[in-house]
């Protein structure tokens, strides 16, 4: 899983290899990132999220806890 510089990813995140995480993004515990997911720069993902296959989240977004996309 490519993680850009300055990004924070909790050690409790389950991310598949082809997921990409942008510069300055933060992803909190119990979040699942499926293959092809793209997380934009400076995006904040709360805990317990499910980001499905090939979902793209734009830069500077904020998703709260327990969302499913």
Domain hosting 50: range is 8-56
51 domain-assigned: yes
Contacts of 10-16 with C-beta under 8 Å, sequence gap 24+, read 10/47
Task: Single out the residue of 20, 16, 18, 17 nearest to residue 3, CA to CA.
Answer: 20
Domain count, the chain: 1
Per-residue pLDDT tens digits for 12-35: 999 998 899 999 999 999 999 999
- pTM, to two decimals: 0.88
47 domain-assigned: yes
User: What Rg, from alpha-carbon coordinates, does the chain have?
Assistant: 10
24 domain-assigned: yes
- Contact (CB, 8 A) for 51 and 67: no
Percent of the chain with pLDDT over 90: 83
The Cβ-side half-sphere exposure at 66, using a 13 Å CA radius, reads 0
Determine the pLDDT at residue 4.
Answer: 87
């Amino acid at each position: 899983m490519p993680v850009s510089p300055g990004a924070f990813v909790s050690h409790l995140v389950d991310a598949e290899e082809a997921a990409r995480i942008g510069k300055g993004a933060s992803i909190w515990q119990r979040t699942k990132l499926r293959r092809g997911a793209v997380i934009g720069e400076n995006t904040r993902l709360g805990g317990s999220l499910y980001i499905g296959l090939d979902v793209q989240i734009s830069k500077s977004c904020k998703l709260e806890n327990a969302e499913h996309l």
